Structure 1
């Protein structure tokens, strides 16, 4: 039986609408060795089809939030539910298989072709498990490469792909498990301007073509947000400073509060711009 087809549907709330794909309730995380507070009383939920930006200065707790939702770590206090399952009451290995993750620091074989890298998304492994990939799985990998507009990279070693090409291949890999939730941890890291714009276009098309897919994108730059991003969460020193629709959250006042310096924000044709609000000497 196809493991994707066999998965249970997302839980639904009492009004019949889909329940959240991820929900944090009063979550705190403290470093065991030092007692340092990394997250403090964070409550947040993400529903199917929503696209969130997760913003904050270095050390704000963004990566820890992704690790919680990705079922990599557990909270010190509070509850985390992902795809209807509460952490601590579910086999996290099975849960991780249903969550797509894209990060520039992911370990994949540089010698493997792009098609092989995508195939490993079906097994969640660094090296391919050839016995697990039947004709249908191989065809799915090819279709995902085509969907991400990198079909011509199928036989190219991953290590010689450009940064932007690697990012799209990794997104195709993350989609192999048909996840309900896609986590993107600074996917634009080290990309040049054309590669960044190509990836933004890719994310916009992906949102349009997969209406039930929810995404969370961690970034430092508003310019990297696609027009599909409809919600934002601002973190500062482990606490939520603002969350909600982008028009209400990505304002100069809220961004200035989050980053601790004057920030000016503008929006043009669905794209965001931000710069320092400080006045430079003549």
Structure 2
């Protein structure tokens, strides 16, 4: 079984503060993971290690066959796509949706070199694959927040990444926009040469049938990890949330978790 991500005894200490402690985690081929944690759990720190922005204070990290300290990190970053609010803030409002998508080929927020119609058609095709053909030709500034997020997803797929990270991807979306975006994930995993998905959230109900595995992160530590059905057990979640919770099925293997009311 191929390991696409491997953390061994990973610790991260910044300015004397322990952000991540003794992480051991493996992701294998054909697994798609959700990382669930409350605010301050260490999710952002974990992502920054994955993308090579932070270096572990101790332990070993291997991502997509690249072992940190023994590889060219620029080559690794070319294999990773990211959907995150910090990227959205950098994109020009006066570009069309398909031009924004095309910037994903260059890992840039702008089109810094000339492009031809074939490349632009490829970007349009990507939007159509994600059932977003109706926004082709529209300025990025005119799009709804949900439409902008779908553009970011399409953009991240342009360079055919081996790993796609979605970091709080539904933040700021209304209910319908959130559900539309989540449905796009099912489209992604059916694409030829689909990337490994890592979906980072603090909302358990966003963990759709697209995801086979879940990692629970709490106070910088992994408290549970494994197949989704094994993790979403009532006793496990009681311990994770430090209080009794109740589970409500939402269909398609999704759950809504709320504090248990007497």
Name which of 28, 31, 42 aligns with 1:47.
28
Name which of 59, 72, 76 aligns with 2:57.
76
Q: Which residue of 2 aligns with 1:173?
A: 155
Q: Structure 2 vs 1, CA of residues 85 and 136 (structure 1 numbering), >3 Å: closer, same or farther?
A: farther
Tell me if the contact between 2:188 and 2:194 (Cα under 8 Å) persists in the aligned partners. no
Tell me if the contact between 1:230 and 1:245 (Cα under 8 Å) persists in the aligned partners. yes
Aligned pairs, number = 259
Q: Which residue of 1 aligns with 2:79?
A: 98
Structure 2 residue 202 is the aligned partner of structure 1 residue 223: no
- Runs (5+) with no aligned partner, structure 2: none
> Structure 1 runs of 4+ off > 4 angstroms?
none
**TM-score normalised according to structure 1 size:** 0.87
Name which of 143, 155, 162 aligns with 1:161.
143
Name which of 114, 117, 122 aligns with 1:140.
122
Secondary structure of the 1:177 match is coil
Tell me if the contact between 1:49 and 1:212 (Cα under 8 Å) persists in the aligned partners. no
**TM-score normalised according to structure 2 size:** 0.93
Shift of 1:200: 1.4
- Runs (5+) with no aligned partner, structure 1: 1-16
Q: Distance in 2 between matches of 1:79 and 1:122?
A: 30
Structure 2 residue 256 is the aligned partner of structure 1 residue 277: no
Shift of 1:211: 6.3
Name which of 51, 70, 74 aligns with 1:89.
70
Tell me if the contact between 1:48 and 1:212 (Cα under 8 Å) persists in the aligned partners. no
Q: Per-residue displacement from partner, 1:32-75 (whole Å, max 9, x unpaired)? A: x2x11000010112223311110111111111111111222111
Q: Structure 2 vs 1, CA of residues 211 and 77 (structure 1 numbering), >3 Å: closer, same or farther?
A: same
Q: Distance in 2 between matches of 1:233 and 1:227?
A: 15
Cα RMSD (Å): 1.6
Tell me if the contact between 1:114 and 1:154 (Cα under 8 Å) persists in the aligned partners. yes
